[in-house]
Structure 1
Amino acid sequence: MKKYAKHIYFSAIVIAALAFYSFQARPKADDPEKDQVLIEALRVILERGHYAPKMIDDRFSENIFDQFIENLDPYKRYFLASDIASFKKYYHDIDDQILRRKFDFYKEVTATYLKRLNETESYYQEILGKEFDYNVKESISLDEKTIEYPIDQAAQKNVWRKHLKFSTLSKLNDYLKEEEDKAKDDKAYKMKTFAELEKKARNKTLESIKDLFYYEHQTLDAERFATYLNCITEQFDPHTNYFAPEMKKRFDSSMAGSIEGIGARLSDERGYTKIVELIPGGPAYKQGDLEVGDYIVKVAQGDGEPTDIVGMRLSDAIELIKGKKGTTVTLTVKKVDNTYQKIAIVRDIVEFEETFVKSSITIKNGKKYGIIHLPKFYIDFKNQKQRNSGDDMRKEIEALKKEGIDGLAIDLRNNGGGSLSTAIDIAGLFIEKGPVVQVKYKDRHPDIRKDNDSSIVWNGPLVIMVNEMSASASEILAAAMQDYKRAIIIGSKQTYGKGTVQNIIPINQYLPYSSDLGALKLTIQKFYRINGGSTQLKGVSSDIVMPDRFTYLDISESELKSPLAWDQIPKANYVTQTHYSNFDQVVTEMQQYINSNKQFNKIDAYAKWLKNSQDDVTYSLNFNKYKEKQEQLNIEAKEYKDILKFNSPYHFTHPAYENNLVVKDSILKDKRTAWHKKLDEDIYVHTAIETLSKLKIAH
């Protein structure tokens, strides 16, 4: 189905839905309540337009109840147990309130939250006014699933004391380590006393908490209401989200052609600013220390005093992190192994040039092998003349063929998807014409999307590299190549598992209203493999499995709240050809090699260690025990420090057509040199080349 047809079909659904709304649910002229208009519009669009609409019933009400309260108070520091008991009267009433366009639950919970916010604000000045007792044996748990709401204000104050002590303890340990390092470097240096550093740590915590309450008081009701609306939309699936007008502007900005900053996409995870993506070629990507999954806890401008951003609104944290080209931002990050690291990054203009296809060549036993890196499936729908990943991939393969390559690896690791049409075009480069993917609206027969070009651009050995972060269109390409048995899929046990399609709907486009109502990102379609199975939740299972750092971490679609289920439809009409004479043999041999490889075994041990570290959310508030644990973590982390580095016998170079380009463009030359160095040290790329070298084309 073409994009235009998809738009017409969906528009018909929405227009019909809101036409129904205009007769049944429009507020009276003397009661133009914007929130009522908005929630009714969302309800109708969700019920009529979502791929798998949910019943707005008592269970739906329970989930919103839990999620909204958890979003406001994840660590149970504000609400009392009596507050939650009082709110319980709405436990099975929120669904009815949505239908009646009432907001009693939202208003009471928000009003109570603001009241408790003001009450707890008085605690921290008193608590931080004197030194903590670090000798007492006590601990703090940050597991929101098991901690209880305080029964009264005395218990609530103790909860705050523990959180403030934990924050101070963490800073104090850092300050002591800094003093010890200074003393090692300078024998004449006089270290500050424990009491001096403790006071400094408390003062820093005080500043951070002041900022926290300041930003909470600055939060507009419209922002909290948007949070509430998202608790409703996300019951349908985790990718259906409401964008308030300001959030829609930020979303549009994120889709622009370039950004100025560090080149990282961030998310808010319970008050922590989390790295969810590094833009290839951006400053953070090139610097190399920042990783997906890291939490930014402090931000400093150059060598200035850092600002603690834990608990800060994401938009405000972003304002601190981004900045003009050439300036330096120093981030203190909490790594996935619970250790901390300071990372200085020079900001730059982040061009999307580095999200484009690029290739490299290596030689093994006299034969040439090419690798193509595809970070995303890109296309400019507004300007079809602009470059897209399908055309670029074709050009890159043609260039590699001129080099005389004997095998090709396509790297889709960390590729979160993008344009489905370009994924279909790329699949067509390796097969004769035929089905590539099935796309389905609710209550409709699947649309079988095909490659209609019978020509094959690359007919030689093909390996596709994936990991847990390969999602959406990446999964479609990998699945199609696997179903045709055209390529060996090598990488993580399975890919991310996002088998759904979203559309951005500006609400005012369908419902005229005097003020901006924002937009809804709505799930409207589902992907299915040509073998009939959905890529939702299950993703694509690799033919050859390689352990990596993310193997045991909870980062896939299945770990999100309310994901759509996996299901199956009839398979498309396609024929699997015997492209290789030794496909199964190569898969077996390489899997045995990986299973017995000492470095891969150590990577697997590292992945288990990371999982254990992530799951350990109880911390001692006794200084000696806390310090001992941090020192042990650092020792263990050092053991795995260079675990991913690999001394490959292969060395990668740019293809011949880039010779003149790198001479003229020193920046491009530096980028390619850095990339080739990474390829040289990448055990996963090495294994992909080994696999390619074993494949034999059937004659």
Structure 2
Amino acid sequence: MKIISVRYVFIFVGLLLLTSYSPTSTREISKEQLLMRLVRQNLESRHYLENNIDDAFSKKVFKEYLEGFDYRKQFLTAEDVAELSTFEIKIDDEIKAETFQLFDLSMQIRTKRWAEAKQYYQEILASPFDFSTDETYETDIKKIGFAKNEAELKERWRKYLKFEVLKRVYNTLEAEDKKDKKENAKTFAQIEEEARKAVLKIMNDWFLRMEKEDIAAKRATYINAITACYDPHTTYYAPRAKENFDMDFSGKYEGIGARLMTKEDGTVKISEVMPGGPAWRQGILKAEDVILKVAQGDGEPVEVTNMLLDEVVKLIKGKKGTEVRLTIKKLDGSLSVVPIIRDVVLIEETYAKSVILENGDKKKIGYINLPGFYADFSNSGGRNCGEDIKNEIAKLKKEKVDGIILDLRSNGGGSLTEVIQMTGLFIEKGPIVQVKGRRGKPNVGEDEDPQIHYDGPLAVMVNSMSASASEILAGAIQDYKRGIIIGSKSTYGKGTVQNMLDLDRYLPVSLDNIKPLGALALTVQKFYRINGTTNQLTGVIPDIILPDIYSAYEEEIGEKKEDFPLEADQIEPLKYNIWTKNENKIAKAKANSQKRVSKDNVFQLISENAQRIKQQNKTSQVSLNLDKFREMQKKYVEEAKKYKVINEYESGITITPLKADFERDNIDSTTKARIDNWYKSIKKDIHLNEAINVVKDLM
């Protein structure tokens, strides 16, 4: 396998550029000025997009900063916004002058409004709420403007706090109704008071944490309003925030094995469950789940909404063998408490693995699961996914499988070198991907090895969370017509390449006293399919689209939901030879799959449930009347009962371990338990079951 003409081997943020920086002036310069200078110079000279830092750009930055500064519109009044607006077309001048007058003014206003907001919530929560009145609360922040004055701002706080108390009152009432014994039941007054006290504690804790936030983190918010106007993946990380970049709950391989991020509304969501970690083995926690509370074993749960990310991490991290309980909200709106025993995150489990599957006949389908496009560049003898997939294919061929499924669902990407090598295993030779910077011709990642390691029926599974390298492989397989792509309506739609610049590496020894400056993730390239199109925004559209939960959130998941994504464009296509063996088979497989899915009750329920959730999410106004709120929640619960069969589904898939893996999979009871859990998830996977049928149609 030979790979040529690829200068950058990562398609995720992670490559450190070892460059140096010499100040253009010997005058005294502050840390903040130097930071702004480095950010601006890199944006102007190295970012893929040639953006003019002018008044038009300034307006974009101002809007972005204002939205991030007071996302829920609970602090600023229209008068404050008017005062800040004097800088709306001056930010470009500030960037060039390396000044922070807008930022300083916003901090002054914040201090004043912060003190007033503390008085609001303490006063409001001191008295019981009347839940018999007929009023509503708007949960969609985009539908409201900034408060006209302090009175309207206080009223907004009242409704927000009433809603938070109402949710807790409702949950307690539902729990009380399920109790067998009623003699010790709490009175409504007790329930309401406890709910108010709980919300008061949350607010006190949150304000205290926010007050402790250092100025560097606040300044990073301002700088990121600037970087965000280039594209959503160009981001400045303050020194402390850099430690949380791609933060996983497990610390250094010890914890629960997941990654998280803070959403704009203050909630904390799972961005990735690390394959092989305790959360992955447990099987309930999924990407996009929102964490509401964290408890240590059977201790009192701590609400984490609006909590600093590193504080949430501290609550979740812990010693191996200890239990943490996460209260989570799933994509379908359901709530559950997920107990997880912390453990060492075993790297072995993040690697590719395979089994043989059958679903009703004697056709043997090889199933390869690839969690990520990994590569160990620090160790010449380390593992890489391209070589591992080649080995898995060899093992499956030895077992004489009739077809292969490569599962890239929720695979967020990784090494560009590996995806080129891996795609080359399935074709004779030819180009795999084009990579282009802001200037010059595209570089081509090409497989020049004529050997085909597997030439049989092939299906590649993707979903809306399959990104970057996953999209390159799926796109190439589709362009060559080498196999069939199965999955969500589209993949994530990320077609850009980032480099991570350690800003400290730009500084000479004479400026060591200014360190640390943090890091800048900078978008420097876009990648294109061999047919000249891009995966940017549109993603890869599968040949066969199966109903799934992600269709309920198609406008909220993916690159297209971002404010300033790079545009989708095209370049010249390359010459490549179509795989002729699948000319008629792919169309036949698509038609057969459509017939099966249309007649399958569970698939229909999945589709219905996604539409139900989509419609439910459009209702942004919530009644603050307890009776009406309970009635609405009862309606949602009743509607959800119809779809319980989705979680109860069993495919009937027969799983046969590979002979070559028997010793590895049974090395100890812990490993065997992990493999057994994997098998259980396979048997409940309706999408995988259909993929087996599709591969058989390709034979």
TM above 0.5: yes
Task: Look up the match of 1:295.
Answer: 290
Secondary structure of the residue that 2:646 maps to in structure 1?
coil
Q: For the Cα contact (< 8 Å) 1:412–1:464, is it kept in 2?
A: yes
Q: How much does 1:2 deviate?
A: 7.1
**2:489 counterpart of 1:493:** yes
Q: For the Cα contact (< 8 Å) 1:644–1:683, is it kept in 2?
A: no
Distance 1:451 1:517, change over 3 A: same
Question: What is the alpha-carbon distance in structure 2 between the residues aligned to residue 453 and residue 3 of structure 1?
Answer: 15
**2:427 counterpart of 1:431:** yes
Question: What is the alpha-carbon distance in structure 2 between the residues aligned to residue 4 and residue 477 of structure 1?
Answer: 16
Q: How much does 1:645 deviate?
A: 4.5
Q: Match of 1:97, as an amino acid?
A: E
1:534-589 C-alpha deviation (Å, 9 max, x unpaired): 11111111111111100131201101121111111111121113022522222222
Q: How much does 1:190 deviate?
A: 1.7
Task: Look up the match of 2:231.
Answer: 237
Secondary structure of the residue that 1:425 maps to in structure 2?
helix
Task: Look up the match of 2:581.
Answer: 579
After superposition, where does 1:63-74 map in structure 2 within 5 Å? 63-74=60-71
Question: What is the alpha-carbon distance in structure 2 between the residues aligned to residue 140 and residue 414 of structure 1?
Answer: 35
Distance 1:348 1:238, change over 3 A: same
Task: Look up the match of 2:56.
Answer: 59
Q: For the Cα contact (< 8 Å) 1:378–1:418, is it kept in 2?
A: yes
**2:260 counterpart of 1:266:** yes
Secondary structure of the residue that 2:236 maps to in structure 1?
strand
Question: What is the alpha-carbon distance in structure 1 between the residues aligned to residue 149 and residue 495 of structure 2?
Answer: 46
Q: Match of 1:244, as an amino acid?
A: A
Secondary structure of the residue that 1:450 maps to in structure 2?
strand
1:634 corresponds to which of 637, 640, 655: 637
1:39-93 C-alpha deviation (Å, 9 max, x unpaired): 1110010111011132212232122212222212111111111101111111111
Task: Look up the match of 2:301.
Answer: 306
Q: For the Cα contact (< 8 Å) 2:250–2:345, is it kept in 1?
A: no
Q: For the Cα contact (< 8 Å) 2:496–2:536, is it kept in 1?
A: yes
Which has the larger displacement, 641-650 or 294-303? 641-650
Which has the larger displacement, 491-500 or 665-674? 665-674
Task: Look up the match of 1:101.
Answer: 98
Q: How much does 1:3 deviate?
A: 9.8
RMSD of aligned Cα (Å): 2.3
Distance 1:98 1:343, change over 3 A: same
Task: Look up the match of 2:530.
Answer: 530
Which has the larger displacement, 355-364 or 574-583? 574-583
Which has the larger displacement, 593-602 or 546-555? 593-602
Q: Match of 1:546, as an amino acid?
A: L
2:367 corresponds to which of 368, 371, 380: 371
Which has the larger displacement, 101-110 or 411-420? 101-110
Q: Match of 1:500, as an amino acid?
A: T
Secondary structure of the residue that 1:124 maps to in structure 2?
helix
Secondary structure of the residue that 2:581 maps to in structure 1?
coil
1:157 corresponds to which of 154, 159, 173: 154
Task: Look up the match of 2:117.
Answer: 120
Q: Which runs of 5+ in 1 are unaligned?
A: none
Distance 1:11 1:195, change over 3 A: closer
After superposition, where does 1:310-325 map in structure 2 within 5 Å? 310-325=305-320
Question: What is the alpha-carbon distance in structure 1 between the residues aligned to residue 194 and residue 70 of structure 2?
Answer: 28
Secondary structure of the residue that 1:532 maps to in structure 2?
coil
Secondary structure of the residue that 2:376 maps to in structure 1?
coil
1:572-626 C-alpha deviation (Å, 9 max, x unpaired): 1211130225222222222233234332222111111222233333211111111
Q: Match of 1:180, as an amino acid?
A: D
Secondary structure of the residue that 1:416 maps to in structure 2?
coil
Q: For the Cα contact (< 8 Å) 1:603–1:644, is it kept in 2?
A: no
1:222 corresponds to which of 216, 221, 241: 216
Q: For the Cα contact (< 8 Å) 2:251–2:317, is it kept in 1?
A: no
1:364-416 C-alpha deviation (Å, 9 max, x unpaired): 52221110000100001111311110111011111111111010000010001
Secondary structure of the residue that 1:330 maps to in structure 2?
strand
After superposition, where does 1:218-617 map in structure 2 within 5 Å? 218-251=212-245, 258-269=252-263, 270-363=265-358, 364-512=360-508, 513-514=511-512, 515-553=515-553, 554-580=556-582, 581-617=584-620
The two structures have a TM-score, normalised by structure 1, of 0.94
- Sequence identity (%): 42
1:157-205 C-alpha deviation (Å, 9 max, x unpaired): 1111111111111111112222222x22xx3652111111111111111
Q: How much does 1:99 deviate?
A: 1.2
Task: Look up the match of 2:197.
Answer: 203
Q: For the Cα contact (< 8 Å) 2:239–2:518, is it kept in 1?
A: yes
Q: Match of 1:526, as an amino acid?
A: K
- Count of residue pairs brought into register by the alignment: 685
Question: What is the alpha-carbon distance in structure 1 between the residues aligned to residue 285 and residue 352 of structure 2?
Answer: 23
**2:646 counterpart of 1:643:** yes
Question: What is the alpha-carbon distance in structure 1 between the residues aligned to residue 182 and residue 250 of structure 2?
Answer: 53
Task: Look up the match of 1:134.
Answer: 131
1:191-224 C-alpha deviation (Å, 9 max, x unpaired): 1111111111111111001001101111111110
The two structures have a TM-score, normalised by structure 2, of 0.94
1:101-144 C-alpha deviation (Å, 9 max, x unpaired): 11111111121012100111112221111110111111111212
